[in-house]
Amino acid sequence: MGKKLMHAVQYDSYGGGPAGLKHVEVPLPTPSKDEVLIKVEAAGLNPFDWKVQKRMLWPLFPCKFPYIPGTDIVGEVMEVGQGVRKFKPGDKVVAFVNPFSGGGLAEFAVAKESITASRPSESSASECAGLPVAGLTALQALTKSIGIKLDGSGERKNILVTAASGGVGHYAVQLAKLGNTHVTATCGARNIELVKSLGADEVIDYKTPDGAALKSPSGKKYDAVIHCVVGFPWSTFEPNLTMNGKVVDISPSSASMLTFALKKLTFSKKQLVPLLLIPKGEDLQYLIDLVKEGKLKTVVDSKYPLTKAEDAWAKSIDGHATGKIIIEF
Ligand SMILES: NC(=O)c1ccc[n+]([C@@H]2O[C@H](COP(=O)([O-])OP(=O)(O)OC[C@H]3O[C@@H](n4cnc5c(N)ncnc54)[C@H](OP(=O)(O)O)[C@@H]3O)[C@@H](O)[C@H]2O)c1
């Protein structure tokens, strides 16, 4: 008897954008020893997904075709590998799917136990589907790269979050405010009130001269910047940083890698630090618990059914989402 089939969205080659996505019926994946098989209820999209398709992240993230994109999933455990201890069939979970094998935009997906976390029944699938990549990146930038303590202890720091209306930025503002921080944020005019409601102390419209110059309205210098926009030369950050100011660049370009190296070689106190997410299950559980406690929320830009995944893909490529784009199954 043949293997059971499921609906999935995949592509067969680099490029092609939304039109390159194909709806197919493929066999269900089989969990290996340390994996869980999840019936997917919702998936969150990230710029990472279409950047892989555009070959922008090659050779760091090569694709084996046909490739099913999607890393952020929420669903129910159907089956567990022999070595899995923490989960059992029927458990509701949030997981990060290994981007090298892919698989999130499908009715069933496998994820490592180590990067799967429990989802409480009071949190909806769509609010948790945004957490894995965007939430964990914001958390890693704040706690590991900058050293903010989210229990509010630690010395006060002035933080700038750019693109605070985006997936990473909107989590970064909320998480930063759990620490002892003053948060300045940039976003478009239409999102200023939203970003203030997330906790930002001051917000700048990025299309104004002060916004383009990243200047704090109150004249504050930044101890750290969580930079969620692609580009910006070092000369824009430099005059806005404190003596030991640090820019965490989550979309590092070759120019920013050069700046990173130069700052290191010249023992500069002001630094630019590239960030690549290293997802961890315990960090994901921490974020889910914050959602449950009402301390972190996901702003949902839009929801699409899996049958309209290409529309969600186009929306993400467009670069103007407010919060997260979610695909529901
Ligand atoms: N290094 C890593 O591991 C890692 C992890 C996650 C994400 N990333 C990268 O981080 C970047 C951000 O990801 P994301 O998911 O947050 O993206 P996103 O959700 O697509 O960001 C969209 C938001 O950015 C705003 N925006 C665009 N240009 C802006 C500007 N110049 N100033 C202020 N806001 C601006 C848009 O506002 P308007 O609509 O008003 O224009 C929109 O709300 C992407 O390049 C992504 O690939 C890297």
DSSP string for residues in 10-22:
EBSSS--GGGG-E
CA geometry: angle 90, 94, 96, nearest 5 deg: 125
CATH architecture assignment, domain 133-272: 3-Layer(aba) Sandwich (3.40)
pLDDT at res. 1: 54
Tell which CATH classification among 1.10.10.10, 3.40.47.10, 3.40.50.720, 3.90.180.10 matches the domain 3-118+298-326: 3.90.180.10
Pocket of ligand 1, candidates 54, 165, 214: which has the most ligand atoms within 8 Å of its Cβ, to mutate? Answer: 165
pLDDT (average), residues 80-106:
98
Q: In whole angstroms, what is the distance from residue 291 CA to residue 127 CA?
A: 8
pLDDT at 252 over 60: yes
Q: Could you report the per-residue pLDDT of 165-220, keeping only the tens digit for each?
A: 999 999 999 999 999 999 999 999 999 999 999 999 999 999 999 999 999 999 99
58 CA from centroid of ligand 1 (Å): 20
Strands 35-44 and 324-328: antiparallel
* pLDDT tier for residue 30 given thresholds of 50, 70 and 90: very high
Q: Is the CB of 230 under 6 A from ligand 1?
A: yes
Mutate to test the pocket of ligand 1, among 52, 61, 168 (most ligand atoms within 8 A of CB): 168
Nearest CA, atom 26, ligand 1: 163
Whether the pLDDT of residue 2 is over 70: the answer is: no
- 3-118+298-326 and 133-272 share one CATH topology? no
What's the whole-number mean pLDDT along residues 110-133?
96
pLDDT, tens digit, 9 for 90 and up, residues 256-299: 899 999 998 999 999 999 999 999 999 999 999 999 999 999 99
Report field, pTM of the whole predicted structure over 0.75: yes
Q: 254: pLDDT confidence band, cut at 50, 70 and 90?
A: confident
Going by alpha carbons, the residue nearest to atom 14 of ligand 1 is 167
d(CA 53, CA 16): 8
Measured from the Cα of 231, ligand 1's closest atom is 31
What is the per-residue pLDDT for 118? 98
Q: Taking the domains of the chain in order of start, what are their residue ranges? A: 3-118+298-326, 133-272
**Residue 187 C-alpha to ligand 1 middle, in angstroms?**
10
Please identify, by atom number, the ligand 1 atom nearest to the C-alpha of residue 324.
19
Q: What is the overall mean pLDDT for the chain?
A: 97
